[in-house]
Amino acid sequence: MLLDKFQSMAGVRAELEAIGIVPFGAVTEKITSATEGVVNGHQVILAGTNNYLGMSFDTRCIASAQAAAETWGTGTTGSRMANGTFAEHIALEQELAQFYGVDQAIVFTTGYAATQGMCATLAGPGDVILLDADSHASIYAGAQLSGAEIIRFKHSDTNDLEKRLRRLGDRTGNTLIVVEGIYSMLGDVAPLKEIAELKRRYGGYLLVDEAHSMGVLGEHGRGAAEAAGVEDDVDFIAGTFSKSLGATGGFCVSRHALLEAIRFSVRSYIFTASATPGVIASVRTALKIITAEPQRRERLWENAQLLYTGLKQLGLAVGPSVSPVVAVTIEDRVEALQSWQKLLEAGVYVNLVVPPASPSEKSMLRCSVSAAHSPEQIDHIIAAFAAVNAARPVGIPVA
């Protein structure tokens, strides 16, 4: 039967409800600041929001959004191809291009639409998409829609990438290499210097999804490509407004003049209502702020170091390096569920990640650090993890 395939998920939901744990789609009932709120009835420190620079509650961004809603209304009621292109959309595209030092930019309504749309459009039948195995679902979705041949290489393994590029031979001219800047699950950074060198040697085009690295890495906050010094080797940079810029939406920038023509071939751009005026205005303000206030990025990394070190000293299995994404891997799924609930009760909200969303068969408690977190809040998060870890039943391993 058509709906039978959903029975297993329904069973999981029923199991969770029976034990009183609701980790997926947890309801945020109140937000009191960039780092605090009420989730599922608990007053918590928000440690799973990807609000890296704390922009979602910046009073300047809020004021810009309010003024735009009063001037332009609450929505555009149309796609960019119809009546949905306002002067503010064009201004933001120009400012994004300037921020990245290129001439071309496209603004999308969501980050998912940006990466999916670009992957689905840049390559097509007869072409090749060579992507990192741990790529985001939006990248996989776009690759599948493209009709191109899809080849995965082992996560951040440049030897495997080179082997596959070598096998492609002359086909590299029709190959799109897709990687992320910071990977969202473990917080590791792509080896872009080595990837860019392989692209120069073998050919192809390179798209980097900077969703979690824009505003976080690089001298000017442009992301992993800037930090690695390889921006000239990157053909397309995609990203989102929902992380460091504290809003919603997505973008793609490029040094290729043809991006303006590509715009009119991207279905997720053509057939989606454009971003609301309030969102566009808040993003424009946030972009100016993160450019003018690099100290936010400095505080973010100070907080990331504090949390990573604190959790590692507890003996927890954290990622390979310090990052604003700090994930604790737990072998047992039920123990991960129970730990998530205990953290919530202790006043800490984190993300629970279970297979198939996690990059392995293990589960994770994923934290995302913000520049807006105080040192005392970081200490509270560590103390909550310590209490949960101390209460773990004997024989339940942390990976």
Exactly one of 56, 184, 282, 339 is catalytic; which is it?
184
Q: What integer is the mean pLDDT of 140-151?
A: 98
Over range 247-264, report the average pLDDT: 97
Domain closes at, from 241, 269, 292: 292
- The 10 Å Cβ neighbour count of residue 9 is 9
Can you tell me the distance from the alpha carbon of 103 to that of 93, in angstroms, rounded to the nearest whole number? 10
Q: Which residue, of 259, 276, 292, is where some domain finishes?
A: 292
Q: How many residues does the chain have?
A: 399
Structural domain for 225, as ranges: 59-292
Higher pLDDT, 253 or 361: 253
By percentage, how much of the chain surpasses pLDDT 70?
A: 97
Averaged over 346-364, what is the pLDDT?
86
**pLDDT average, residue stretch 44-57:** 97
The tokens for 119 are 């992957």
CATH no. for residue 38? Answer: 3.90.1150.10
Within a domain: 6: no
Q: How many domains, in total, are found in the chain?
A: 2
Distance CA 124, CA 177 (A): 13
| The two three-digit tokens of residue 118, written as one number | 């670009």
Q: For residue 139, what are the contacts with CB-CB under 8 A and spacing of at least 6?
A: 115, 116, 119, 131, 178, 180, 209
The per-residue pLDDT for 190 is 98
Q: How far apart, in Å, do the first and last CA atoms of the chain sit?
A: 38
- Place 396 in a pLDDT band, splitting at 50, 70 and 90: very low
For residue 398, pLDDT over 70 is answered with no
* Cβ-based neighbour number of residue 59 at 10 Å: 7
- The β-bridge relationship of strands 205-209 and 149-153 is unpaired
Query: Is 321 a catalytic site residue?
Result: no
Query: Taking CA 241 as the corner, what is the angle to CA 240 and CA 247, rounded to the nearest 5 degrees?
Result: 145
Can you tell me the distance from the alpha carbon of 100 to that of 222, in angstroms, rounded to the nearest whole number?
7
Strand partners, 42: 39
pLDDT higher than threshold 50 for residue 172: yes
* pLDDT of the residue at 19: 75
Tell me the H-state helices in the chain: 7-18, 59-72, 87-100, 111-122, 137-146, 158-168, 192-202, 224-228, 259-262, 267-270, 277-292, 295-313, 333-345, 375-390
Same domain flag for 287 and 344 = no
243 in catalytic set: yes
In this predicted structure, the answer to whether residue 392 has a pLDDT above a threshold of 70 is no
* Inside any domain, residue 216: yes
> CA-to-CA distance for 112 and 243, rounded, in angstroms?
12
Q: Are residues 141 and 261 located together in one domain of the fold?
A: yes
- What's the pLDDT band for 30 if we cut at 50, 70, 90? very high
Q: What CATH code is carried by the domain that includes residue 181? A: 3.40.640.10
Peptide bond into 125 cis (omega under 30): no
Mean pLDDT value of segment 179-200: 96
User: Would 8 be classed as within a structural domain?
Assistant: no
pLDDT of residue 397: 47
Instruction: Give the pLDDT confidence score for residue 390 in this predicted structure.
Output: 84
pLDDT digits (tens, 9 = 90+) for 272-321: 999 999 999 999 999 999 999 999 999 999 999 999 999 999 999 998 89
Q: Are residues 73 and 112 in the same domain?
A: yes
Nearest-angstrom CA–CA distance, 238 and 110: 11
Same domain, 30 and 103: no
Q: Is 335 exposed, middle or buried (0-12, 13-18, 19+ CB in 10 A)?
A: middle
Same domain, 94 and 204: yes
383 contacts 46 by C-beta, under 8 angstroms: no
Q: For 65-106, write each residue's pLDDT tens digit.
A: 999 999 999 999 999 999 999 999 999 999 999 999 999 999
Torsion of CA 266, 268, 271, 277, to 10 degrees: -110
Look at residues 300, 319, 318, 311 and name the one whose alpha carbon lies nearest to residue 375.
300
Q: Report whether 74 contacts 393 (CB < 8 A).
A: no
Catalytic residue among 243, 342, 362, 373: 243
**Residue 393 pLDDT > 80, yes or no?**
no
- Whether 339 is a known active-site residue: answer no
Tell me which of 212, 342, 362, 380 is the catalytic residue: 212
Q: Are residues 304 and 287 in the same domain?
A: no
What's the confidence (pLDDT) of residue 395?
44
- pTM for the complete prediction? 0.94
- The reply to whether 25 and 63 lie within a common domain is no
Mean pLDDT rounded to a whole number for the chain: 94
